[in-house]
C-alpha cells in the first residue's frame, strides 16, 4: 500500500463527474473522522493521566513527557479538521492525501511513543490499547514507512529503557516486552494490510466486471457500436433536449444493398467482416457528438444532435460516396448503401421519427438503391 493507494482508492469510476464529487466528499469526511480520532484519545487519556498523576508507578522524570505527547495528539487532530475545512479547497486531491499521510505518520509515531512510556511505567493495558489504536492507522502506511517508524520507536524505547536505570532482570523483561510488541505489531500489520489490499482488489475487480457488463449491455458484440437498447435511451434524452432548446436533431437509417447476395457469394465470414469495416467507416465519418448504432443485421442508425436536415443530407451523401468508393477486404465487387433521413418535429414522437427514417430507407431501395432519401 502507498500514498497512491490512499488517493487512488477514491477514483473507481474516472470520467464520471457526479461519482468524483461523491468520492471527494467521502474523502473529506474521512479527514474529519481522522481528526476526531486524533483528538478524542488525546483528551480521554490525558484526563486519565491527570487524575492518576500521583500514581507511584510514574517516575518523576518520565511523567513530564505525557502532557507534551498527548497535546501533540490533540494538535494533530485540530490540524486535520482545519485541513478539511480550508486546505482541501486549495490543494489537489493527491497533495491533500499526502498532507493527510504526514499527519497519520505523526499520529502513529506518537502512539508508539506512548506505548513505549506505558511499557516502562508497567502500564501494559494502556500499552496494548495504544498498540491497537496505532494499528488502526498503520494499515494506511506502506511497508517502508512502517519499517522506518518501527526503527524510530525501537530507538526511542531503547533510549528510555537505558535512561530508566532498571536492574538487569527488569531490563531483560522490558527488552522481551519490546520484542513481543514488535512481533505482534508486525503480524497484525501484515495481516491487516493483506486483507485490506485483497478487499481493495476484489472491489476493483467487481467494479471492472460491472463496467464491462454495463458496456456489453449497450453495445453490439460484432461491431462494438451501440445497440438498439442504447438507442432508445439516447433518443429519449435527445428528444427532451430538442424540446428544451428548440433545436432539431436528425437520424439516418441505412443498410447495405444486396447484403444477402454478398453473403451467398463470399460467405458469412466475409459478410461479418464487411459489417465490421463499415461500422468503423461510419464512426470515422461523423462528429464526436454523433452516435452510430447497429440497428439489426446489416442495418445501422446514426443520431446527429442539434443538426438540421439540410446539413445531414450533405453528410449522408458524403458517407454514401465514401462507401461506394471503398474496396472492402475479401469483397470483390462494389458495395453500396441506401439511406433514409428524418428530422425531429414538434407534432411527432420518437416512434414516428424512426418510422419516417425507415420509410425513407425503403423509398431509397425502391428507387434503385445507392441513394439518400429525405
What's the pLDDT band for 62 if we cut at 50, 70, 90? Answer: very low
Minimum mean pLDDT among 27-31, 198-202, 221-225, 346-350: which range?
Answer: 27-31
Q: Is the pLDDT of residue 240 over 70?
A: yes
What's the pLDDT band for 33 if we cut at 50, 70, 90? Answer: low
For the stretch 122-178, pLDDT in tens is: 555 566 666 666 666 666 677 777 777 777 777 776 776 676 666 666 667 767 777
User: In the predicted model, what is the mean pLDDT of residues 71-96?
Assistant: 59
Question: CA distances (Å), 150 to each of 172, 218, 274, in order?
Answer: 20, 52, 64
Note the pLDDT of residue 165.
63
Note the pLDDT of residue 159.
72
Helices and strands (DSSP H and E) totals, the chain: 13, 5
Residues 6+ apart with CB under 8 A from 317: 372
Whole-number average pLDDT of the chain: 75
44, burial (CB in 10 Å: exposed 0-12, middle 13-18, buried 19+): exposed
Percent of the chain with pLDDT over 90: 36
Backbone angles phi, psi at 273, to 5 degrees: -65, -40
Minimum mean pLDDT among 7-16, 111-120, 161-170, 198-207: which range?
Answer: 7-16
Note the pLDDT of residue 7.
40
Residue 304 bridge partners (DSSP)? 250
Q: Which residues of 187-215 are buried (b: 16+ CB within 10 A; e: fewer)?
A: ebbeeebeeeeeeeeeeeeeeeeeeeeee
Note the pLDDT of residue 275.
96
Note the pLDDT of residue 5.
39
User: In the predicted model, what is the mean pLDDT of residues 244-249?
Assistant: 90
Given a contact cutoff of 8 angstroms between Cβ atoms, the answer to whether 293 and 225 are in contact is yes
In the chain, the domains with their CATH numbers are 3-216 (no CATH), 228-373 (3.30.70.270)
| Nearest CA among 65, 59, 20, 25 for reference residue 46 | 65
Q: Which residue has the cell 434503385?
A: 368
Given a contact cutoff of 8 angstroms between Cβ atoms, the answer to whether 204 and 191 are in contact is no
Q: Which residues of 129-165 are buried (b: 16+ CB within 10 A; e: fewer)?
A: bbbebbbebbbbbeeebbeebbeebbebbeebbeeee
Cell (9 digits) for 28: 473529506
Given a contact cutoff of 8 angstroms between Cβ atoms, the answer to whether 297 and 228 are in contact is no
Per DSSP, 340 falls in state E
The CB density around residue 297, as the number of other CB atoms within 10 Å, is 12
Percent of the chain with pLDDT over 70: 58
Q: Is the pLDDT of residue 15 over 80?
A: no
**Model pTM greater than 0.85?**
no
What's the pLDDT band for 272 if we cut at 50, 70, 90? Answer: very high
| Nearest CA among 170, 173, 3 for reference residue 102 | 3
Note the pLDDT of residue 283.
95
Amino acid at each position: 500500500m502507498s500514498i497512491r493507494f490512499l488517493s487512488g482508492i477514491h477514483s473507481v469510476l474516472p470520467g464520471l463527474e457526479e461519482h468524483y464529487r461523491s468520492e471527494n466528499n467521502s474523502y473529506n469526511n474521512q479527514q474529519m473522522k481522522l481528526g476526531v480520532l486524533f483528538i478524542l484519545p488525546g483528551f480521554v487519556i490525558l484526563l486519565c493521566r491527570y487524575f492518576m498523576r500521583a500514581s507511584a508507578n510514574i517516575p518523576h522524570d518520565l511523567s513530564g513527557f505525557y502532557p507534551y505527547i498527548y497535546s501533540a495528539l490533540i494538535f494533530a487532530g485540530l490540524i486535520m479538521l482545519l485541513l478539511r475545512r480550508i486546505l482541501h479547497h486549495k490543494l489537489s486531491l493527491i497533495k491533500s492525501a499526502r498532507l493527510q499521510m504526514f499527519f497519520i505518520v505523526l499520529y502513529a509515531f506518537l502512539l508508539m511513543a506512548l506505548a513505549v512510556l506505558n511499557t516502562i511505567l508497567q502500564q501494559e493495558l494502556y500499552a496494548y490499547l495504544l498498540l491497537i489504536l496505532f494499528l488502526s492507522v498503520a494499515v494506511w502506511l506502506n511497508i517502508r514507512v512502517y519499517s522506518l517508524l518501527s526503527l524510530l520507536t525501537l530507538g526511542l524505547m531503547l533510549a528510555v529503557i537505558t535512561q530508566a536505570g532498571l536492574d538487569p532482570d527488569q531490563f531483560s523483561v522490558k527488552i522481551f516486552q519490546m520484542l513481543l510488541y514488535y512481533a505482534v505489531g508486525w503480524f497484525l500489520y501484515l495481516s491487516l494490510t493483506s486483507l485490506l489490499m485483497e478487499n481493495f482488489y476484489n472491489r476493483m475487480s467487481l467494479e471492472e466486471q460491472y463496467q464491462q457488463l454495463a458496456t456489453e449491455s449497450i453495445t453490439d458484440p460484432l461491431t462494438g457500436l451501440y445497440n438498439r437498447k442504447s438507442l432508445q435511451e439516447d433518443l429519449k434524452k435527445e428528444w427532451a433536449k430538442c424540446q428544451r432548446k428548440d433545436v432539431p436533431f436528425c437520424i439516418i437509417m441505412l443498410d447495405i444493398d444486396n447484403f444477402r447476395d454478398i453473403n451467398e457469394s463470399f460467405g458469412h465470414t466475409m459478410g461479418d467482416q464487411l459489417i465490421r469495416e463499415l461500422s468503423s467507416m461510419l464512426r470515422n465519418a461523423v462528429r464526436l457528438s454523433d452516435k452510430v448504432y447497429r440497428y439489426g443485421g446489416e442495418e445501422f442508425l446514426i443520431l446527429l444532435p442539434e443538426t438540421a436536415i439540410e446539413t445531414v443530407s450533405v453528410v449522408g451523401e458524403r458517407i454514401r460516396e465514401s462507401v461506394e468508393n471503398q474496396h472492402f477486404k475479401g469483397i470483390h465487387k462494389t458495395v453500396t448503401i441506401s439511406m433514409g433521413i428524418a428530422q425531429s418535429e414538434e407534432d411527432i414522437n420518437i416512434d414516428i421519427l424512426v418510422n419516417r427514417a425507415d420509410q425513407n430507407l425503403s423509398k431509397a431501395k425502391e428507387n434503385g438503391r445507392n441513394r439518400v432519401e429525405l
